[in-house]
């Protein structure tokens, strides 16, 4: 498993290249993002290739969110699929995560 | 040499032992010992040679040499290199006593050797061995003064000694003023029928410390191996030992002091007292036996000089002699399968081509199933390739695969070529067999695999597809199968194939094992189920149901099995009108649903939403533990979305 990253100013766009973010793939995902984020850096997690997230995947995103806040940054999600959106709603994570329809919308929100 | 005895470092009275087998002694059991030496005949489940090697290893012996004048090939196969007892083992073929003495002289002259008979174990313990060490040779003596067959010998003292046999050598040593050490307590011996019966009695009465009797037992003095089948009217008088996969029919009376080895059949109202029945023996109806060793069609009485052969196979016989009728029936079935296979070959070819045209690249897939019957040791298992249609992405082809008549066509060649039976237990691969509970596995391995199964017809009739129901049906079939029963199951199965619309709906079943592959298999399975043409449900509801099932399986992997690999998980998905019933089975730790903490919806949360998600998505949730150790999670989903997310997207 790998992640693709691209930088836009102070924002790092992270795109996990996997179909599922679940109990099986979360350890590899956590390894890939172990050094993120840098102090003051904002993160956008581009979920467009992820078709399925389970509760372990949610836990990994929450952990990354906490780390980002600790270094003074923000974490937002973009391009979440239907299943992922349903999951966020079911566990009331829409109150915690900012979710945007596209990466560009997320970039505008963070830069604006 | 594959292993080194860790006890080498502990000072032991003797480091090296030499065992001999006397041709003269071994011949006293007559034709019974022509094929199997007396020291390999089972005494309450374990051969005397096995018991001696194990005991010597426990007493610190790490080098064992066997002097054999016969059965060297059998001994080589049984002992191998001695690694299973943690000792180094050497086999030496000796013709006579003179050659044996010459070989003994080649050992280190100043080191004492424990020298003894393979046909006798005088309950040696550390105290006795220490009494045998010391200056000069020592001979273990019976209360009568006769040598017990065991001695401590210094090779340097054997110069000039002449003897025709090992026992004569011991007598000669005794005459040459070797020390006499008294032999304590009861001992084991397998030289004569009386010795075998006496030794079995000693073992069953637990008069000899440290000797293991295989099989399950309480304090009742009754031992039973795995896969035994006893009619409810069987009367057992302890002490009694019954080996694996033996069957005792109606009215059998067994004991006291009786041992029945593996794979034996005792016919109706047979009575056995003070008997030892060796492996693979069938004893006919109403036969009464007392004070006798029985081996297939030989009877060895305590007061006779040789075993007698019984020519009438209805009294006593090797088990395989009574299998003529099943053999003929099996042959007929195979011939029928061959004819049928040739007849449907054009149809098979057409279906194969159709599948290729519909985009299925490999229409027939193989599964390596365990060939039955077979011993319980996985090293001995052989497999055969079971042929089945392979489902693809094309719906028309998948419907063809699921058709009950077309479904069985590829497997007919497996029956024709003796790999599978028409009727039997469900064919399973090695991993599936290993995942079965121990008692189920033992019965399964002693039975046969078939295309049509009692468990399948029972499950369809009862509408119960749980592992417990399958276990009940398979155990019943394995324990009671007859030709008549096979014919009935075949008829019932064919009737169900014709009238399948009247039988209970069968769930789609995924049998998998915990490990890295399971979630991929789960999602492929669910994708296949939820993409069926008759599945009318909103995409969002499908996503929710997949999420709930995924969380339930994840809970099993993490909490029931603690992330251990190779543990069984079964998922049953039954589509009914307007609802989906999902049953999940595992054999891991159970859990109390009321002790699960409520989820934390704050940013500090780190997961723990699994059970909450299941409860939010499913319309009913039930968790229970079955009597046979399966955890059962039952989920029901109404196909219309429920709750807050209805029609949101």
CB contact under 8 A, A22 and B544: no
> Residue B528 and residue A17: Cα distance in Å, rounded?
24
Distance CA B293, CA B274 (A): 9
For residues B457 and B424, give the distance between their C-alpha atoms in angstroms, rounded to a whole number: 12
- Burial label for B497, CB within 10 Å (0-12, 13-18, 19+), is middle
| Contact status of B615 with chain A (Cβ, < 8 Å) | no
DSSP tally for chain B: helices H, then strands E? 20, 34
Reported confidence tier of residue B312, pLDDT bands at 50, 70, 90: low
Nearest to A91 among B554, B558, B609 (CB): B609
Contact A50, A20 (CB under 8 A): yes
C-alpha B215/C-alpha B222 separation (Å) is 9
Indicate the pLDDT class of residue A46, thresholds 50, 70 and 90. very high
Render B260-298 in DSSP notation, one character per residue: E-TT-EE-TT-EEEEEEEPTTEEE-TT-EEEEEEEETTE
Q: Which of B42-46, B378-382, B599-603 has the highest mean pLDDT?
A: B42-46
* ipTM metric: 0.90
User: What pLDDT was estimated at residue B603?
Assistant: 65
Q: Give the pLDDT of residue B1.
A: 37
CA atoms within 13 A on the CB side of B186: 16
B613 contacts in chain A (CB < 8 Å):
55, 87, 90-91
Q: Which of B519, B603, B607 minimises the CB distance to A65?
A: B603
Residue pair A101/A78 in contact (Cβ under 8 Å)? The answer is: yes
Residue of A nearest to B598 (CA): A91
Q: Tokens for A25?
A: 């793939």
CA distance B395 to B401: 10
Dist CA B55 CA B100 (whole Å):
24
How many CB atoms neighbour CB B269 within 10 A? 15
Helix, strand and coil in chain A, % to nearest 5: 40, 25, 35
For residues B611-629, give the mean pLDDT.
83
Q: Which two tokens stand for residue B249?
A: 């029919």
Mean pLDDT for chain A overall: 88
Count of Cβ atoms closer than 10 Å to residue A46 Cβ:
22
pLDDT at B549: 94
Pairing of strands A11-17, A42-46: parallel
Closest CB from B519, B547, B599 relative to A87: B547
What is the number of alpha carbons within 13 Å of residue B190 lying toward its C-beta? 28
Using a CB–CB cutoff of 8 Å, tell me whether B539 touches chain A. yes
Decide if pLDDT at B146 tops 90: no
- Write out chain A residues lying below 8 Å of B540, CB-based: 82, 86
B381, with CB counted inside 10 A (0-12, 13-18, 19+), is middle
The answer to whether the peptide bond before residue B88 is cis (omega within 30 degrees of 0) is no
Predicted structure pTM score? 0.49
Give yes or no for residue B254 having a pLDDT over 90.
yes
Closest CA to B166 of B32, B25, B377: B25
Q: What is residue B577's predicted lDDT score, i.e. its pLDDT?
A: 73
With beta carbons less than 8 A apart as the criterion, state whether A42 and A10 touch.
yes
What would the pLDDT profile of B148-171 be if each residue is shown by its tens digit?
Answer: 888 898 888 887 787 778 888 888
| pLDDT bracket for residue B612 (50, 70, 90) | confident
- Cβ pair B547:A89 closer than 8 A: no
pLDDT at B259: 92
SS3 B577: coil
| pLDDT at res. A76 | 92
N-terminal to C-terminal alpha carbon distance within chain A? 33
Distance CA A72, CA A40 (A): 5
Mean pLDDT of chain B: 81
pLDDT over threshold 50, residue A28: yes
Residue B62 confidence (pLDDT) above 70: yes
CB B79 within 8 A of CB B53: yes
Question: Residues B524-571: pLDDT tens digits?
Answer: 888 888 876 666 778 888 888 999 999 999 989 988 888 888 888 889
Query: Between these two residues, B638 and B648, which has the higher pLDDT value?
Result: B638
- Cβ of A56 and B607 within 8 Å? yes
pLDDT tier at B4 (50, 70, 90 boundaries)? very low
Higher pLDDT, B413 or B302: B413
Helix (H, G, I), strand (E, B) or coil at A104: helix
Residue B547 to residue A83, Cβ atoms within 8 A: yes
Nearest to B645 among A90, A95, A96 (CB): A90
Q: How far is A111 from chain B (nearest CA, A)?
A: 23
Q: Quick check: B7 and B60 in contact, CB under 8 A?
A: yes
A55 with B608: Cβ contact below 8 A: yes
B607, A53 in Cβ contact below 8 A?
Answer: no
pLDDT of residue B543: 87
CA atoms within 13 A on the CB side of B479: 18
Q: Measured between alpha carbons, how far is B214 from A74 in angstroms, rounded to an integer?
A: 67
What average pLDDT does the segment B63-91 reach? Answer: 85
Contact B519 A20 (CB under 8 A): yes
pLDDT at B418: 76
Residue B534 has a pLDDT of 64
Residue B303 pLDDT > 80: no
Of B364-368, B569-573, B633-637, where does mean pLDDT reach its minimum?
B364-368
Question: Cα separations (Å) of B401 from B282, B348, B354, B358, B389?
Answer: 44, 12, 12, 13, 6
pLDDT band at B5 (very low <50, low <70, confident <90, very high): very low
Contacts of B517 (CB under 8 A, 6+ apart): none
**Residue B642 pLDDT greater than 50, yes or no:** no
Of the pLDDT bands very low, low, confident and very high (cuts 50, 70, 90), residue A45 is: very high
Chain A residues whose C-beta is within 8 A of a chain B C-beta are: 20, 22-24, 52, 54-56, 58-59, 62-63, 65-66, 69, 82-83, 85-87, 89-93, 95-96
Give the residue-averaged pLDDT of B393-401: 74
pLDDT surpasses 70 at B579: yes
Cβ–Cβ under 8 Å, residues B316 and B282:
yes
Binning pLDDT at 50, 70 and 90, where does residue B6 land?
Answer: very low
**Chain A partners of B602 at a C-beta cutoff of 8 Å?**
96
The alpha carbon of residue A63 is apart from the nearest alpha carbon of chain B, in Å, by: 7
pLDDT digits (tens, 9 = 90+) for B446-501: 888 998 888 888 777 777 777 777 887 887 787 667 777 888 888 888 776 555 54
Residue B635 pLDDT grade (very low, low, confident, very high; cuts 50, 70, 90): very high
Asked whether the beta carbons of B561 and B514 are under 8 A apart, the reply is: yes
Binary contact (B608, A83; C-beta < 8 A):
no
Could you say which DSSP state residue B590 is in? Answer: -
Report the DSSP beta bridge partners of residue B4: none
Work out whether the CA dihedral A20, A24, A28, A30 comes out positive or negative. Answer: positive
pLDDT band at B588, cuts 50/70/90? confident
Structure tokens at B66: 């066997």
Q: Which of B228-242, B435-449, B490-504, B583-597 is predicted least confidently?
A: B490-504
Instruction: Please state, as a whole number, how many other Cβ atoms lie within 10 Å of the Cβ of residue A112.
Output: 5
* C-alpha closest to that of B188 among B205, B172, B171: B205
Q: Which two tokens stand for residue B485?
A: 């029963």
Residue B91: which pLDDT band, with cuts at 50, 70 and 90?
confident
3-state secondary structure B401-451: HHCHHHHHHHHHHHHHCCCCEEECECCCEHHHHHHCCHHHHHHHHHCCEEE
């Amino acid at each position: 498993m790998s992640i693709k990253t691209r930088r836009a100013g102070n924002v790092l766009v992270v795109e996990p290249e996997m179909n599922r973010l679940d109990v099986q793939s979360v350890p590899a995902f956590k390894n890939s993002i172990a050094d993120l984020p840098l102090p003051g850096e904002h993160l956008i997690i581009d979920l467009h290739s992820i078709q399925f997230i389970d509760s372990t995947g949610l836990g990994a995103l929450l952990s990354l969110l906490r780390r980002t806040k600790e270094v003074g940054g923000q974490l937002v999600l973009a391009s979440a699929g239907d299943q992922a959106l349903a999951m966020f709603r079911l566990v009331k994570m829409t109150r915690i995560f900012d979710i945007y329809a596209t990466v560009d919308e997320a970039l505008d929100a963070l830069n604006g | 040499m594959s292993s080194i005895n860790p006890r080498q470092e502990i000072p032991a009275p003797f480091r090296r032992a030499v065992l001999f087998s006397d041709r003269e002694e071994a011949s006293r059991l007559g034709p019974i010992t022509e094929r199997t030496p007396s020291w390999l005949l089972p005494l309450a489940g374990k051969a005397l040679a096995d018991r001696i090697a194990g005991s010597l290893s426990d007493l610190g012996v790490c080098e064992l040499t066997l002097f054999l004048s016969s059965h060297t090939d059998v001994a080589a196969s049984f002992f191998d290199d001695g690694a299973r007892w943690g000792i180094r083992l050497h086999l030496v073929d000796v013709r006579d006593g003179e050659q044996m003495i010459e070989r003994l002289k080649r050992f280190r002259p100043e080191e004492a050797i424990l020298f003894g008979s393979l046909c006798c174990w005088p309950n040696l313990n550390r105290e006795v061995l220490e009494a045998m060490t010391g200056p000069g040779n020592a001979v273990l003596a019976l209360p009568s003064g006769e040598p017990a067959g065991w001695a401590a010998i210094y090779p340097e003292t054997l110069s000039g000694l002449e003897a025709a046999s090992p026992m004569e050598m011991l007598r000669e040593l005794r005459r040459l003023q070797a020390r006499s050490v008294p032999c304590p307590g009861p001992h084991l011996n397998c030289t004569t029928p009386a010795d075998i019966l006496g030794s079995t009695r000693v073992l069953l009465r637990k008069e000899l410390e440290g000797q293991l009797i295989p099989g399950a037992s309480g304090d009742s003095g009754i031992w039973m191996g795995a896969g035994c089948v006893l009619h409810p009217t069987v009367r057992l008088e302890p002490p009694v030992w019954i080996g694996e996969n033996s069957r005792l029919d109606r009215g059998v009376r067994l004991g006291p002091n009786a041992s029945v080895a593996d794979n034996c059949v005792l016919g109706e109202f047979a009575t056995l007292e003070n008997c030892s029945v060796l492996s693979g023996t069938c004893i006919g109806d109403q036969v009464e036996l007392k004070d006798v060793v029985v081996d297939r069609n030989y009877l060895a009485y305590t007061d006779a000089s040789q075993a007698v052969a019984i020519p009438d196979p209805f009294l006593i016989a090797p088990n395989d002699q009574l299998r003529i009728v099943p053999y003929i029936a099996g042959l007929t079935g195979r011939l029928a399968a061959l004819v049928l296979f040739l007849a449907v070959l054009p149809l098979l070819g057409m279906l194969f081509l159709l599948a290729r045209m519909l985009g299925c690249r490999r229409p027939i897939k193989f599964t390596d199933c365990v060939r039955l019957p077979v011993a319980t040791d996985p090293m001995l298992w052989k497999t055969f390739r079971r042929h089945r249609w392979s489902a693809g992405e094309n719906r028309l082809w998948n419907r063809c695969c699921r058709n009950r008549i077309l479904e069985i066509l590829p497997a007919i060649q497996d029956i024709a070529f003796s790999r599978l039976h028409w009727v039997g237990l469900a064919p399973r691969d090695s991993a599936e067999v290993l995942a079965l509970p121990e008692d189920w596995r033992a019965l399964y391995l002693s039975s046969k695999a078939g295309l049509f199964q009692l468990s399948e017809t029972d499950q369809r009739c009862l509408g119960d597809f749980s592992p417990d129901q399958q276990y009940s049906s398979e155990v019943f079939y394995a324990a009671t199968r007859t030709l008549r029963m096979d014919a009935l199951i075949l008829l019932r199965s064919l009737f169900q194939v014709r009238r399948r619309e009247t039988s209970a709906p069968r769930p789609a079943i995924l049998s998998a094992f915990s490990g890295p592959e399971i979630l991929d298999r789960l999602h492929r399975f669910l994708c296949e189920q939820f993409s069926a043409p008759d599945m009318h449900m909103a995409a969002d509801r499908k996503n929710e149901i997949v999420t709930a099932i995924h969380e339930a399986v994840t809970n099993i992997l993490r909490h029931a099995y603690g992330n251990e690999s190779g543990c069984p998980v079964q998922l049953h998905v039954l589509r009914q009108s307007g609802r989906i019933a999902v049953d999940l089975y595992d054999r891991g730790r159970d859990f109390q649903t009321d002790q699960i903490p409520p989820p934390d919806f704050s940013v500090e949360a780190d997961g723990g939403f699994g059970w909450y998600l299941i409860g939010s998505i499913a319309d009913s949730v039930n968790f229970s533990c079955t009597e046979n150790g399966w955890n059962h999670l039952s989920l029901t989903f109404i196909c219309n979305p429920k709750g807050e997310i209805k029609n949101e997207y």
